[in-house]
Chain A
Amino acid sequence: MNSDISIVALSLQIALVATAVTLPVGMFVAWLLVRKQFRGKFVLDVFVSLPLALPPVVVGYALLWLVGTNGWIGRLSESLFGSTLAFTWIGAALAAAIVSLPLVVRSFAAALAGVDPRLEVAARGLGAGSVRTFLTVTLPLAYRGVIAGVLLGFVRALSEFGATIIVAGNIPGRTQTLPSAIFTRISAGSTDDAWRLALISVVLGVIALAIHNWLLKRTANGIYNSNGGAR
């Protein structure tokens, strides 16, 4: 039971850190893809979306190659912190972030594309800088899509297995996430433990989706109410 809690805590930690990475990165990439015209846009799009089209194991292997003892990121982190990111929870978070990034970017891009660019032009015309325009005009209008993207990325990161087990292994208490713990228990024939952890996954998924719906509803209500008050 105690180990269940630490498995869930580690999974949540990894998924949250992954989400914290994908949120700004995904927002920037989505903004580039939707609002900017530049050389190599297609390449960027394909590169960011590729994890969606690849077996997660391949993503994991590529990442391991980068962060492992022979990769340049691995060598960098080894000289800075004395160890590589392979077989650490940070490696697991990185894997989860990369695998969930395509979903996040896609949601964000759809949300940004739904914002009328003329409103941004108007804001700029009224003297707002690009950052202020983005934060006070674009983001509020794209808010629902952004929430949807964040939640989608979070649940994907929480359920990540293929890339994680390659990059971070399956070390209890260190890198063993909920999916890899379930895998171990199924392999070992501990069906009761496997079912219990699977049930926990279902509960976490339902909670995440409930928060998603609650946030959306709450935002919508908030706007309705404040409008009602203003008029």
Chain B
Amino acid sequence: MPHDPLHWQRLFRFDPSYDRCGSATPLSSDRSILSELTDFNKEISLLLRRHSVQSVLGLMFLGLAASCGGNSGDDVPLIFAAASLSDVLTESANIYERETGRRVELSFGGSLTLANQIAKLGAPADGVFFVGEEPKTILDELVSQVPNGSIGLVNTLLVIASKDAEHVGTLGDLAASDSRVVIADPLLAPAGQFAKQALEYAGVWEEIESDLIFAVDVRAALAAVESGNSDYGIVYRTDAFGSDSISIMSEIYEGYSPIVYVGRSLKLAENSAFAVEFYEFLSKSVEVRDVFESAGFTIGFAGSSGT
């Protein structure tokens, strides 16, 4: 007899006289079918009882416990920050935890992407550390109008190139080179907007537009040049500082709005007060100041930096 759970389906044939309300005429294999079905059920209930249910529940419980452990603190603020701050803010958060025992959670991305997630989609941030004016315009009433912690970081733009690319001096040369140039997407990240402004100011936007590649944020633009997938890129000075697999072509001095980062708290958020505490720590700590400065940021005070 074939050992196949379906074999008795094939064996089982209803008597033609069978009707739904009456009784089926038992066939010779009836008994074995019944015993088989019983075995099958036993097997399954054992399997379910022993393994699946317990292990699934156990795993779910573990998962829940792990997640609760992961973002347990009620007083841990979540701060959305510009991608270009990822290294310095992560390091500053480590210093903060070491010195005060307090933690912050950081999530990095294009400032415009993140600002829209908060303003239009209700993302649960307690504070933001964004660059430029537009994120503030998007967030409008939601954020503190005066920057918290009174620290402002100032940045500039650079033209960078992958290692084996030819040297270009000006933005005009860059446009004339007909090479691929990566910038952050102006719709998603201020870095892209500043780069666009600079190219427009230099009068080469139309010429270069067809050679441009848009990346999700400025760090993605840097990565594209580092990997050699794009010959040139326009990124922040501070992005180029940490990278030894690119070469710096030129610094762009004019034609774009001031690149200033400030921390703001979200007024209605649960942990906004803890976000403010973090910003205040940033503006006071000498160690943090060193981190920012060695990464190439110019430190200004929010009051005097025109925000």
Contacts and interface: CB of A to CB of B under 8 A. Distances in A.
Interface of A: 6, 9-10, 12-13, 16-17, 20, 64, 68-69, 74, 83-84, 86-89, 114, 116, 118-119, 121-122, 125, 136-137, 139-141, 143-144, 169-174, 184, 186-189, 191, 218-220, 222-224, 226-227, 230-231
B244 to A, nearest CB: 12
Contact of B83 (A143, A172, A173, A188): A188
A17 B66 CA distance: 14
Given A140-B44, A170-B107, A226-B42, A68 B20 contact: no
Contacts of B23: 125
Interface of A is mostly: helix
Contact of B39 (A10, A74, A188, A227): A227
Interface string B60-78: 1011101100110000001
Nearest to B122: A69
Contacts of B62: 9
Contacts of B6: 114, 141
B141 to A, nearest CB: 15
Interface in B274-299: none
A13 B220 contact: no
A20 B43 contact: no
Interface stretch (B129-137, B164-172, B198-206, B211-219): B211-219
Interface string B113-156: 00001000111100000000000000000000000000000000
Given A87-B122, A186-B223, A171 B78 contact: yes
B3 interface: yes
B63 A87 contact: no
B234 to A, nearest CB: 16
B5 A10 contact: no
B67 A223 contact: no
A189 B44 contact: no
B32 A231 contact: yes
Contacts of B37: 136-137, 140
Given A140-B41, A189-B223, A174 B60 contact: no
Interface residues of B, number: 54
A188 to B, nearest CB: 5
Contact of B40 (A13, A140, A186): A140
Interface string B28-39: 000010011101
B67 A13 contact: yes
A143 B44 CA distance: 9
Contact of B70 (A10, A84, A144, A230): A10
Contacts of A139: 44
B39 A226 contact: yes
B176 interface: no
B106 interface: yes
19 contacts: A10-B63, A12-B63, A13-B66, A13-B67, A74-B122, A87-B122, A118-B12, A125-B23, A136-B41, A140-B44, A169-B107, A170-B107, A186-B223, A187-B215, A189-B220, A219-B43, A226-B43, A227-B36, A231-B32
Shortest 6 CB-CB contacts between residues of A and residues of B: A189-B223, A13-B63, A9-B66, A226-B39, A187-B220, A171-B107
A87 B117 contact: yes
A9 B70 contact: yes
A68 B42 CA distance: 46
B222 interface: yes
B105 interface: yes
